[in-house]
Chain A
Amino acid sequence: MHEFMTNSTSISEPEIRYRRIRRIAGVMTVVCSLLALLLLPCMIAVWSFVEHIPRMPLPAKLLHNLSLTDRIGAIAISMLAAGLAAWGLVSLAQLFARFRQGDVFDLRATILLRRFALSVLLLPVAQAVVEASTTAWLSRNTAPGEGVITISLSSDGILFFVIGVLLMTVAWVFHDAAAIAEDNRMIV
């Protein structure tokens, strides 16, 4: 086994790797938690200044003269997708927290990975629902026949879906492998 010398102590290679995992996992736990926490303020900021945001995926005529009720409703609807993303990010933060504790391939970690994969998988669907609901909400007071409902699926959404499916498959394999490893640990 390789050994590395530091100032006054020698640290084994596995210990160096473990410390590196702990350091990276610790950073990622904080980053994922912060991202999850920032989603609500971001939604509020977006709907507060939506008129000034270029290339919003909504019909421009719906975004003029929005009332406070319109904005609050739109934020609430947007939270469906943002909440799903936050759930995925919180699962990822918990996963990294487990990595930090040294539980890399245990059953709980694979369940958390599966939750994150599920959130990635469902995000494009949630976005499509949010978009349709938001346009319906914002056009509710328009004259009869002028109401708008936009339903779209972007190439980004399809990519997210495909990545989600792949992640789900990987998480499923890890879960079964972790179950087998756990079973083996129970045999002395």
Chain B
Amino acid sequence: MRIVVTLDVMLARRKMRGKELAAAIGISEQNLSLLRSGKVKGVRFSTLQRICAVLDCQPGDLLAYEPGLEES
């Protein structure tokens, strides 16, 4: 995977649980879990916008590009 989701790091920094974030942004815990583990094909801008608003961060704080890794 080339794009790595670093949502866990931001959640830890903000001392927030996944369950609380899921409720705050209005997606299911299952979908948030998939997003945290990077097992999704994409993130909607609207979802990204809500996460950034709740965690008070930038999209770049949630996603990272790692060259050299195989794309899955």
Choose, from A43-51, A99-107, A180-188, the stretch at the interface. A180-188
B63 within 8 Å of A by Cβ? no
A-B contacts at CB below 8 angstroms, number: 19
Chain B: minimal CB distance from A187 (Å):
4
| Contacting residues, chain A, for B13 (C-beta < 8 A) | none
Q: How many residues of B contact A (CB 8 A)?
A: 11
B58 within 8 Å of A by Cβ? no
B43 within 8 Å of A by Cβ? yes
CA distance A186 to B44 in the complex (A): 11
Residues 155-188 of A contacting B (Cβ, < 8 Å): 183, 186-188
| Contacting residues, chain A, for B10 (C-beta < 8 A) | none
Q: How many residues of A contact B (CB 8 A)?
A: 4
CA distance A11 to B29 in the complex (A): 26
| Contacting residues, chain A, for B34 (C-beta < 8 A) | 188
Residues 109-161 of A contacting B (Cβ, < 8 Å): none
Which residues of A pack against B, CB within 8 Å?
183, 186-188
Which residues of B pack against A, CB within 8 Å?
27, 31-32, 34-35, 40-44, 47
Beyond A187-B41, A187-B42, 17 additional contacts (C-beta under 8 Å) are: A183-B41, A186-B40, A186-B41, A186-B42, A187-B40, A187-B43, A187-B44, A188-B27, A188-B31, A188-B32, A188-B34, A188-B35, A188-B40, A188-B42, A188-B43, A188-B44, A188-B47
19 intermolecular pairs with C-beta atoms under 8 Å apart: A183-B41, A186-B40, A186-B41, A186-B42, A187-B40, A187-B41, A187-B42, A187-B43, A187-B44, A188-B27, A188-B31, A188-B32, A188-B34, A188-B35, A188-B40, A188-B42, A188-B43, A188-B44, A188-B47
